[in-house]
């Protein structure tokens, strides 16, 4: 029980910091939807999609190998750290240089505009973000939670304030958003310079270690690439088929639905080091079962809560504007579909111990490649018939297939006795409540009423004692944090 308590505690601390950084674009939604048109918002998200693909190229799987070998008890930890950072620095300079040289070409073909300045901003963002992210990972491994959290907060606040002032008061438009993000990554990089020096000044650069890092990490590169194709290719397909306006509306709904992804990222920050650490213990599978089952039940419950209140949330007034601009309210229909897709991705994540602990990482590209290929095919078909809703359903089906693939295959490697019957029952009941809600007139009173009824059902199914026990554990974790 102590190890499980520590897991949730660390996941909460590191999760909040990391999710805040990744949620910058979410915090900027009121700015996007009130200060920009649908077309301009579409171009903003196309730029961020390019940055996301760029991050995969810059990392090329080395984040996983760094996490695997840069351990506190490792004899060659210092050399691993120095070798990893030098490799990252060299590849980042080269890739940023390539992006800079081909900025005009990238701008025309990916954004449909002559805006090479945006691409140059992207090159800078990628360089500083990727390097500082590696140092942030080292802080997680060293369990320097306070430093990690403070730097994350400073990064987020600087980005948000700079973007807001440049767009609202100085009329920088999309450039203002990108300058704000670039400034935030530079600030984080500066704050991490002492930690960077601490890693680079110890150990020696080793070709043997470099080969070991590449050998372990490179199989994760295609897996990460396929995941990004699955996650973001729909933006470009919508852009090419329906235009930037559709991308703008779709991206707002997708971003709100991807609140689930922020939770998964926070969970996985603690989950991955945790299962690597205790994977060889005798009762590891039972520990995984308790954590994974509880995590999926929480994810499903939050799905209901988000759907019941998103209509009200979008229409909250901020002065003369709504929190989500009226022009983007059509994105509400996408939120439930996208969130449910991530529930299946959460199921995929809790089955990952079987890949890491039994060194089956070569299967990871196959799982994600299947999802990515299916996603592209379904998007090409569905978008033409059902537009944005079709793209959302393509994402849901792709994540569902990816989960079923690893669910079937992982049983041959490591049988973790997750309580799938309880999870499935909870999912079906929640789906029924969401369906009923979608058929009714949406008001604050109805959202409140159906939320209360839903959680009474959860209480009856899950059990009062179990909920009280989990609540006490959660309160204890929050107090510790």
Contact, 435 vs 400, CB < 8 A? Answer: no
For the chain, the average pLDDT equals: 83
Check pLDDT > 50 for residue 168. Answer: yes
Check pLDDT > 50 for residue 478. Answer: no
- Hey, what are 470's tokens? 């989990």
Global pTM value: 0.82
- Give 33-62 pLDDT, tens digit per residue: 888 888 998 898 889 888 988 888 888 777
Q: Using a pLDDT cut of 90, give the percent of the chain over it.
A: 29
Q: Strands 317-318 and 321-322, how do they pair?
A: antiparallel
Beta bridge partners of 318: 321
Cα 4 to Cα 23: distance, rounded to the nearest angstrom: 27
Cα 163 to Cα 183: distance, rounded to the nearest angstrom: 9
pLDDT of amino acid 481: 37
Q: What is the residue-wise DSSP string for 308-351?
A: HHHHHHHT-EETTEESS-GGGGGGHHHHHHHHHHHHHHHHHHHT
Q: Which residues contact 90 (CB under 8 A, 6 or more apart)?
A: none
Strand ranges (E), 22-65: none
pLDDT of amino acid 435: 93
Contact, 36 vs 178, CB < 8 A? Answer: no
Q: Which residue has the tokens 């789906």?
A: 431
Contact, 333 vs 253, CB < 8 A? Answer: yes
Q: Fill in the DSSP letter of residue 456.
A: H
């Amino acid at each position: 029980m102590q190890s499980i308590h520590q897991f949730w505690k660390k996941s909460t601390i590191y999760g909040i910091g990391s999710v805040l950084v990744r949620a910058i674009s979410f915090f900027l939604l009121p700015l996007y939807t009130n200060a920009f048109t649908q077309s301009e918002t579409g171009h903003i998200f196309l730029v961020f999609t390019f940055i996301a693909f760029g991050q995969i190229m810059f990392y090329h799987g080395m984040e996983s190998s760094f996490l695997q070998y840069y351990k506190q008890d490792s004899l060659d930890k210092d050399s691993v750290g120095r070798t990893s950072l030098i490799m990252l620095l060299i590849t980042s300079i080269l890739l940023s240089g390539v992006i800079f040289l081909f900025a005009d070409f990238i701008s025309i073909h990916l954004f449909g505009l002559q805006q090479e300045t945006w691409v140059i901003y992207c090159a800078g963002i990628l360089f500083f973000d990727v390097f500082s992210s590696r140092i942030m990972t080292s802080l997680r491994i060293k369990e320097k939670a306070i430093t990690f959290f403070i730097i994350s907060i400073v990064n987020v606040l600087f980005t948000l304030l700079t973007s807001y002032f440049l767009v609202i008061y100085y009329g920088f438009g999309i450039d203002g958003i990108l300058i704000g993000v670039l400034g935030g990554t530079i600030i984080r990089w500066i704050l991490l310079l002492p930690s960077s020096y601490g890693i680079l000044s110890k150990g020696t650069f080793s070709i043997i270690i470099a080969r070991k890092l590449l050998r372990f990490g490179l199989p994760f590169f295609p897996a990460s690439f396929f995941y990004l194709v699955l996650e973001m290719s729909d933006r470009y397909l919508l852009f090419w088929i329906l235009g930037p306006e559709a991308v703008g509306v779709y991206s707002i709904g997708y971003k709100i639905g991807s609140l689930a992804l922020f939770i998964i990222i926070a969970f996985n920050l603690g989950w991955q080091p945790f299962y690597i650490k205790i994977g060889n213990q005798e009762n590891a599978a039972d520990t995984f079962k308790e954590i994974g089952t509880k995590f999926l039940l929480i994810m499903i419950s939050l799905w209901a809560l988000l759907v019941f209140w998103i209509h009200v949330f979008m229409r909250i007034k901020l002065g003369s504007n709504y929190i989500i601009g009226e022009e983007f309210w059509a994105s509400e229909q996408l939120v439930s579909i996208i969130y449910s897709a991530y529930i299946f991705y959460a199921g995929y994540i809790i089955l990952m111990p079987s890949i890491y602990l039994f060194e089956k990482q070569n299967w990871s590209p196959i799982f994600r490649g299947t999802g990515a290929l299916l996603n592209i095919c379904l998007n090409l078909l569905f978008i033409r018939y059902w537009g944005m809703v079709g793209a959302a359903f393509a994402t849901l089906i792709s994540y569902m297939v990816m989960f079923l693939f690893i669910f079937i295959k992982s049983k041959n490697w490591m049988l973790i006795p997750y309580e799938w019957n309880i999870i499935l029952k909870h999912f079906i009941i929640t789906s029924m409540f969401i369906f009923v809600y979608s058929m009714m007139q949406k008001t604050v009173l109805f959202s409140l009423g159906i939320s209360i009824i839903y959680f009474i059902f959860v209480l009856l199914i899950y059990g009062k004692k179990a909920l009280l026990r989990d609540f006490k554990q959660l309160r204890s974790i929050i107090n510790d944090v």
